[in-house]
Structure 1
Amino acid sequence: MLLKIYSSLAALGAGMFCAANGLGNVMGAPDASSATGYELRGTLLNAPAGTKVLISDTREGHLIHLDSAYADAQGQFVLRGQVAEPALYRLTVGEKKMLFPLMVPLENGVQLRLTGDVVQLSNSYWLEGSAAAATLLQFRAAQTQASFYYVSAMQEKRLKEGIATSLKSSDLPKPDEGLMQISRDVATAARKKLIQQHPDSYVAAFETTLLMRDGKQRAFTDSMTTAFERTLPASRYTKMLANYQQKTATTTVGQLAPEIKLAAPDGKKVALSSLRGKYVLVDFWASWCGPCRQENPNVIKLYQKYKDKGFEIYSVSLDDSREKWVKAIAADGLPWKQVSDLQGWKSAAGTAYGVDAIPQTFLLDPKGHIVARNLRGADLEAKIASLLR
C-alpha cells in the first residue's frame, strides 16, 4: 500500500533553530554493493530529464554524500548504497536549496519506493517499503492535521475581518501568533502521543530530538531518553538525547544559572550576576541566525512592556565578527544588554549553558535561578506576566 506523507510543516511542533551541527563541508562516501545495502527507487512527476537527486547524511557537522542520480525522461531514479545505521537521511531534489529537505528512513537490506510531484515535493510525497516509512507517515500526518487547524483558523479570521480570499498574499493579515501557538501545542501533543506508541522505533527517537530543546518538554524527553537507552542503545538519536541531557544537566529548571561575564560592544564587561534583583531573560542568538532575528520584534515589544516592572534581557551573541554583531544590534534596534566573546560556537558562555542550537533562552528569577527554558511568543509573555504580578 502506498503511504502519503505530508511534510510541509514537519517542524511545526519543534520550533526553528540554527544548529551547531548543521551543514558543513561536503565529503564523499565510498560506493557499496546494493546486495546488502539500501535501495531507494523513485518517480518524480513533472521532473525534467536530468533532475539531480541526492541522498546525504550529516556527521559531526559535515554533510556526507551517500549517492546521487539523475531522473530519466519519466522522472524515475534509483539510489543505492550502504548506511552506517538505520536512520533518517536527507533527500534533496534539484539544484535549488530546499527549505525542508525530505527525510527518508533508510536501512540496509530494505528497498524503499518514493513517488511525488517535484513541483511541491516538500508538501507531499509517497513512501512504501518498510515499517519505519509507515511510522514516519503517522508523524507527518499528525503534523499536517495541526497545520490544517492553523490554516482553517486564519481563513475564518479573514472572513470575520471582511477580507476577500481572492486578495494577494501581500494583502493578507500577518500570521497570528496566538493561533500559531495553539497549532504548535496541537502538533507537540500529537508528536508526544505517537512517540509513546513507538518506543522501539528510531523514527520516534528522531522525533524526540525535535522536542529536546523545548524546556517545557524536559520531563518527557528525559523519560523517553531512558526508554530509548533500553530499546535503541546504539541509535544516533538515543546518543544525541543522552548527550544533550548530560550537557544541560546544570541548566535545568531550579538550578542556579552559571555566571557569564563578557564584553559589551563598547568593550566593557557586563556580568550576568549584576542584574540580580530582576527577572532576566538570558538570550543566546547571532546576527546570522534567521529565527533569532525574526523573533526580535516580539521580544522588543515584551521588553518595552515589562522593563520598568523588574524585567531585563541579557543577550549573548555567538557571532565571531564584531562588525556583523554590532550591525545586527543596530538594525534590529535591540535596547537591552548585549555581550559576546566573539568565539562563535566555541563561546565559553554557550558551552557553560550547553547551547548547541539557537535561539535558546533561559528565564532567571531575581536570585539567579532558572525558572523556565526556551519559552517564546505567547508562552514567554504569559510566564513573565505571572511572575511579575
Structure 2
Amino acid sequence: MVIKNHLKMKKIFIIILTFFLMFFSKEILSQEKKVIIKGKIENCEDYKNISLKEIITGDEIISAPLNKRGKFKIKTEIENGNFYRLCLDEDNYILLILLGGEKVKIKADFMNLFIPEISGSEPTELMYKTFRKIEKFNAKLDSVAYTIENEKKEFIRQTILKNPSSLSNLFFLDNLDINSNLEIFTKLDSSLYEKYPQNLLVQRLHEDLKNTESLAIGSQAPEIKLPNLENKEIALSSLQGKYVLIDFWAAWCAPCRKKNKDLVYIHNKFKNSNFQIYSVSLDQSKETWGKAIKDDNLEDFIHVSDLKYWQSIVTETYKIEAIPFNVFIDKNGKILAKNIEIEELEKMLNEILD
C-alpha cells in the first residue's frame, strides 16, 4: 500500500512538473533574452536619441532618448550571442557583444567614444580590454616607424647635399616634403636648373619650387574673401589676432567628411582659446554644402565658398591638387604648417595657447 501510494505521488509530481515546465519555459527563455543597458555619454549635447543596432544586418532593435546630461536606459530582448552597435549616428557608436540576460552599465565620452568603460557584459569587457592592449602595441609600432622614417629622410637629405648636381636625386624627392625641406630643394634646383635647363623633370622641380615659395612656412597666407551661406563675404584677414586652421573640403569628398569629426573635436577643445577654423568648400551646390555642414555638426566654423568646384579661385591661390587640405596660420597670418595632421595640430595648439 505504501509502495502504491509512493508511485501514485511520483506520477502526480511528474505531471505537475511537466505542466510547470510547459507553462513557464517560454517565460524563462524570454527572461534570458532580456537586456538592460544603462549609461551616460559626456559631451553629446547635439544628440537626442541613442539606438541599438545589429552589426551584421544593420537592423535597429530599439531607440531610446538621451537626456540633457547624456543619460539613457534601454530595455529590450535580443538574440543570444550577437554583435551590436550602440549608435549616436553611423559614425559614432559603441560596440557590444550581448548574450542575453545582461545588465550593462556604460560610461563614455563623445570625444573618445571608442574606449568606453563597460561592466555587466563579460565578452564586451574582454573585447575592450584587448583593444586597449592592441592600441599600446600600435603606439610602440608607430614610434618605431616614425624613428625609421626620419632616419630614411635624413639619409636622403644628406645624399642630396653631397651630390646636388646629380639627376638621380629627382627619383628620391617624393620622400621629402618640399615645405619642410625648402633649403634642400632650393639648392638642388639651383644646381640642376643651371646644368640641365631643358630636362622636363628639372623644369617641373623649378616650377614647383617657385609655386611653393609663395606658400612657404613663415610666409604670409594669401588673402581669401568669399561668401558664406548667407552670401556675406568673410575675409580671412578679418580673423587676424586668432590662430586659424584654413580647411579646404567639400561635401562630396568622403575623406573630408571623415576628418570633420576630428575638426569638431579640435574646435570644441580650443574654441575659447583664440582659435578658429576657416572652412573653404569646393562644392557646387549651396544646398548640398549647407546640409553637410549641419550633418557633420560644423555650424560653429566659419564657412565660405564661391561654389565653383575645382575652378574656385582658392585652388590656384593655394596650389590645391587634392582635398582634404589645410593651412595653419598664426595670429598675424603667417603660415605655421600645411596639411597638418590633427594630432600634430593639437600638440602645437597646446604649446602655443598654454
| TM-score interval, smaller chain | 0.5 to 0.7
Q: CA–CA distance in 2 between the matches of 1:257 and 1:302? A: 21
Q: CA–CA distance in 1 between the matches of 2:140 and 2:262? A: 12
Q: Which residue of 200, 225, 236 maps to 1:272?
A: 236
Deviation at 1:367, TM superposition (A): 1.9
Q: Which residue of 297, 314, 323 maps to 1:349?
A: 314
Aligned residues, how many? 223
Q: CA–CA distance in 2 between the matches of 1:175 and 1:303? A: 29
Over residues 100-157 of structure 1, what are the superposed CA-to-partner deviations in whole Å (9 max), with x where a residue is unaligned? xxxxxxxxxxxxxxxxxxxxxxxxxxxxxxxxxxxxxxxxxxxxxxxxxxxxxxxxxx
Over residues 241-260 of structure 1, what are the superposed CA-to-partner deviations in whole Å (9 max), with x where a residue is unaligned? 32222123222222222211
Q: Using a 3 Å threshold, how does the CA distance of structure 1 residues 182 and 174 change in structure 2: closer, same or farther?
A: closer
Aligned to 1:369: 334
Do the aligned residues in 2 keep the contact of 1:303 with 1:311 (CA within 8 Å)? Answer: yes
Deviation at 1:195, TM superposition (A): 5.9
* Residue pairs, 1:1-389, within 5 angstroms: 163=130, 180=142, 183-184=145-146, 186-194=148-156, 196-197=158-159, 204-209=169-174, 211-212=176-177, 215-229=179-193, 233-334=197-298, 335-389=300-354
Q: CA–CA distance in 2 between the matches of 1:332 and 1:371? A: 27
Aligned to 2:93: none
- In structure 1, what residue type is equivalent to 2:156? L
Do the aligned residues in 2 keep the contact of 1:322 with 1:342 (CA within 8 Å)? Answer: yes
Do the aligned residues in 2 keep the contact of 1:345 with 1:356 (CA within 8 Å)? Answer: no
Aligned to 1:15: none
- In structure 2, what residue type is equivalent to 1:370? I
Deviation at 1:278, TM superposition (A): 0.8
Q: CA–CA distance in 2 between the matches of 1:328 and 1:291? A: 13
What's the secondary structure of 2:272's corresponding residue?
A: helix
Do the aligned residues in 2 keep the contact of 1:212 with 1:221 (CA within 8 Å)? Answer: no
Q: Using a 3 Å threshold, how does the CA distance of structure 1 residues 173 and 284 change in structure 2: closer, same or farther?
A: same
What's the secondary structure of 2:271's corresponding residue?
A: helix
Deviation at 1:227, TM superposition (A): 4.6
Higher RCO by CA contacts (8 Å cutoff, separation 6 or greater): 1
Aligned to 1:129: none
Deviation at 1:225, TM superposition (A): 3.6
Over residues 80-114 of structure 1, what are the superposed CA-to-partner deviations in whole Å (9 max), with x where a residue is unaligned? xxxxxxxxxxxxxxxxxxxxxxxxxxxxxxxxxxx
Q: CA–CA distance in 1 between the matches of 2:143 and 2:283? A: 29
Over residues 355-381 of structure 1, what are the superposed CA-to-partner deviations in whole Å (9 max), with x where a residue is unaligned? 233333222222222222222132211
What's the secondary structure of 1:243's corresponding residue?
A: helix
Aligned to 2:15: none
Gaps of 5+ in 2: 1-125
- In structure 2, what residue type is equivalent to 1:279? Y
Q: CA–CA distance in 1 between the matches of 2:154 and 2:347? A: 23
- In structure 2, what residue type is equivalent to 1:263? P
Structure in which a larger fraction of residues adopt helix? 2
What's the secondary structure of 1:361's corresponding residue?
A: strand
Do the aligned residues in 2 keep the contact of 1:253 with 1:371 (CA within 8 Å)? Answer: yes
Gaps of 5+ in 1: 1-158, 165-170
Do the aligned residues in 2 keep the contact of 1:256 with 1:370 (CA within 8 Å)? Answer: yes
* TM-score (norm. length: structure 2): 0.53
What's the secondary structure of 1:383's corresponding residue?
A: helix
Deviation at 1:234, TM superposition (A): 4.7
What's the secondary structure of 2:337's corresponding residue?
A: strand
Q: CA–CA distance in 2 between the matches of 1:332 and 1:203? A: 46
Deviation at 1:163, TM superposition (A): 2.5
Aligned to 1:53: none
Deviation at 1:210, TM superposition (A): 5.2
Q: CA–CA distance in 2 between the matches of 1:269 and 1:209? A: 38
Q: Using a 3 Å threshold, how does the CA distance of structure 1 residues 247 and 375 change in structure 2: closer, same or farther?
A: same
Q: Highest Rg: 1 or 2? A: 2
Q: Using a 3 Å threshold, how does the CA distance of structure 1 residues 347 and 180 change in structure 2: closer, same or farther?
A: farther
What's the secondary structure of 2:223's corresponding residue?
A: coil
Q: CA RMSD in A?
A: 3.5
- In structure 1, what residue type is equivalent to 2:211? K
Q: CA–CA distance in 1 between the matches of 2:301 and 2:276? A: 7
What's the secondary structure of 1:326's corresponding residue?
A: helix
Deviation at 1:340, TM superposition (A): 1.1
* TM-score (norm. length: structure 1): 0.49
Moved more, 286-295 or 201-210: 201-210
- In structure 2, what residue type is equivalent to 1:380? L
Over residues 289-342 of structure 1, what are the superposed CA-to-partner deviations in whole Å (9 max), with x where a residue is unaligned? 344333322222111111101110101122333344333323322231111112
- In structure 2, what residue type is equivalent to 1:379? E
